[in-house]
Amino acid sequence: MPGKRLEGGNGALKLRFGSIVSFSKTEYPGKAAAVVLTAGCPWKCGYCDAGPLVNASGYAEEETSFFVEFLRKNKEHIGSVVFTGGEPCMQGNALVELCKQLSQEGFKIKIDTCGYYPDSLRDLLPYVNYVAMDLKTRFNAEEYAKIAGFKSAPRTLLSQVLRSLAFLEKARVLKEFRTTVIPGVNDFPDVILDITEQVKFADVYALQQFKPKEGLLDKAFESIEMPSKDKLLKLAAVAKHNVSKVVVRADGTEVEVR
Residues in contact with ligand SF4 by CB under 6 A are 41, 43-45, 48, 50, 54, 85-87, 114
Shortest Cβ 217–ligand SF4 spacing (Å) = 6
- Of the candidates 175, 146, 169, 168, which has an alpha carbon nearest to the alpha carbon of residue 158? 146
Nearer to ligand SF4, 144 or 242 (CB): 144
According to DSSP, the β-strands at 253-257 and 246-250 are antiparallel
3-state SS assignment for residue 93: helix
The per-residue DSSP string of 150-201 comes to --S-HHHHHHHHHHHHHHHHH-SSEEEEEEEE-TTTT--HHHHHHHHHTTTT
Q: Which of 67, 90, 66, 69 is nearest to 5 (CA)?
A: 90
| Residues comprising the chain, all counted | 258
User: C-alpha dihedral over 189, 151, 59, 120, to 10 degrees?
Assistant: 70
**Shortest Å, Cβ 70 to ligand SF4:** 23
For ligand SF4, which is the closer residue by CB, 62 or 115? 115
Q: Hey, CA dihedral for 157, 240, 227, 185, is it positive or negative? A: positive
Buried b (16+ CB within 10 A) or exposed e, 35-66: bbbbbbbbbebbbbbbeebbebeebebbbbeb
Q: Cβ closer to ligand SF4: 78 or 182? A: 182
The least distance separating ligand SF4 from the CB of residue 188, rounded to whole angstroms, comes to 20
Q: How far is the CB of 20 from ligand SF4 (least distance, A)?
A: 17
Closest to ligand SF4 by CB, 132 vs 239, is 132
- Least spacing, CB of residue 212 vs ligand SF4, in Å: 15
The residue among 3 and 85 lying less far from ligand SF4, judged by its C-beta, is 85
- Asked if residues 202 and 243 have their Cβ atoms less than 8 Å apart, the reply is yes
What is the closest distance, in whole angstroms, from the C-beta atom of residue 58 to ligand SF4 in the complex? 16
